Amino acid sequence: MASSASEALTPRAREIVAAARLILEQEGPDGLSMRAIAERLGIRAPSLYKHVADKETLEVALISDGLAEIAETFESAAAAGDDPLASIACAYRGWALAHPHLYRLMMDRPLPRDRLAPGLEDRAAATVVAATGGDPDAARAAFAFAHGMVVLELNERFPPAADLDAAWNRGVAAFGRRRERGSGA
Amino acid sequence: MASSASEALTPRAREIVAAARLILEQEGPDGLSMRAIAERLGIRAPSLYKHVADKETLEVALISDGLAEIAETFESAAAAGDDPLASIACAYRGWALAHPHLYRLMMDRPLPRDRLAPGLEDRAAATVVAATGGDPDAARAAFAFAHGMVVLELNERFPPAADLDAAWNRGVAAFGRRRERGSGA
DNA sequence: GTCTATACCCGGATAGAC
DNA sequence: GTCTATCCGGGTATAGAC
């Protein structure tokens, strides 16, 4: 199943993307230079340009891979528990905290929609919409809440003593599908 | 009333901060170089260092000023309408959309708490806590929601057709103080 | 308080040899 | 496909003259 945009790249280019990701996750965005990527592969920076057009292409590949991973994570989470929105929220937070620099790279700018695999963005969104009972306003509000919580947590914006789990629960409860009488199926 | 941290700076330093703010708001963070600031003031970059220690000090001043403005905005909003949380949310969104680059400078990193005027952060937070009926979890969730909405809107993350006002209303309703029977006073 | 000159670092990217 | 050499741009910041 082709879920990663970097699969359209040559094998060598995929190695370069993989090296870039390691550097990004370990050293942050300031460490992600073409020179550093080349060094990790044991070559010189100019050689990279035989395989990748430019740095921006590399970043698009990283963003695309991250999006695909989030979509997969959402689908697993939604299928797992009896409270899809809570499961998705938990998965979202977990993924973001596990990949802070990649998460920021993905979120801190407009999506390069014209360079992503078609349907990728919708795939991630669909599970959230479903979990909010098909209400797009609630889905967007829930997305905003989750992103806000994650990014404020990453940026150490809350007081150290703050109970972030409680705040998460408060938000998830606010946007969850209203339980219907009887079965939800 | 001393609400702005840059009031502790010399008059010339405040002129520099003002120039920096104009550049930041008009050209974004990449345009905010010491050279550009100096040029706007009709001097050379090295001269700035007679008045300001370094660039980071300048950024702290910008952040501090922005925080003070937000706190003032919140206080006015909370006092104005009959639904404080909705008023604050509206003020928050309005301020952020009016100052996108400054907003990001303020939010995209940990707060330099040790370099801010004491009580400044709490002052902004207090109105939100009050508007959520004193529930800190709800206040944090509301903060996260508002920040998420604003930053996703700034980053053009929602579909162009999305009704963001509706999403805002959905979130504000979710975190607002539960109306008590009779009067709220 | 401003200047010139400059040190020192970094980055992305290209040309052309091998 | 990799290399060396290099271009060209940018940035913060300091030294020392005036």
Give yes or no for a contact between A170 and B138, defined as CB atoms under 8 angstroms apart: yes
User: For the range A133-137, what are the long-range contacts, defined as Cβ-Cβ under 8 Å and sequence gap of 24 or more?
Assistant: A133/A177, A133/A178, A135/B170, A136/B162, A137/B163, A137/B166, A137/B167, A137/B169, A137/B170
Residue B181 has pLDDT above 80, yes or no: no
In chain A, residues 99-118 whose CB comes closer than 8 Å to chain B: 107-111
Q: For A40-77, write each residue's pLDDT tens digit.
A: 999 999 999 999 999 999 999 999 999 999 999 999 99
The answer to whether residue B49 neighbours chain A at the CB level (below 8 Å) is no
Which structural domains are found in chain B, ordered by start?
5-181 (1.10.357.10)
CB-count burial class (<10 Å; 0-12, 13-18, 19+) for B155 = middle
Instruction: Search chain B and give the residue with CA nearest A167.
Output: B137
DSSP single-letter state for residue B5 = G
Q: What is the DSSP letter of B28?
A: -
Of A169, A100, A75, A71, whose CA–CA distance to B144 is shortest?
Answer: A169
pLDDT at residue A177 in the model = 66
The C-alpha atoms of residue B32 and residue B28 are separated, in whole angstroms, by: 7
Under 8 Å between Cβ of B175 and B138: yes
A157 touches chain B (CB under 8 A): yes
pLDDT band at A178 (very low <50, low <70, confident <90, very high): low
Percent of chain A's residues with pLDDT above 90: 90
Three-state DSSP class for residue B176: coil
pLDDT tens-digit series, residues B51-105: 999 999 999 999 999 999 999 999 999 999 899 999 999 999 999 999 999 999 9
Nearest CB to B144; choose among A110, A145, A169: A145
Taking CB atoms and an 8 Å cutoff, what residues of chain B touch A171?
A: 141, 144-145, 174
Lowest mean pLDDT among A47-51, A81-85, B123-127: A81-85
Q: Is the pTM of this model over 0.85?
A: yes
Residue closest to sugar C1' of D15 by CA: B46
**Quick check: B144 and B152 in contact, CB under 8 A?**
no
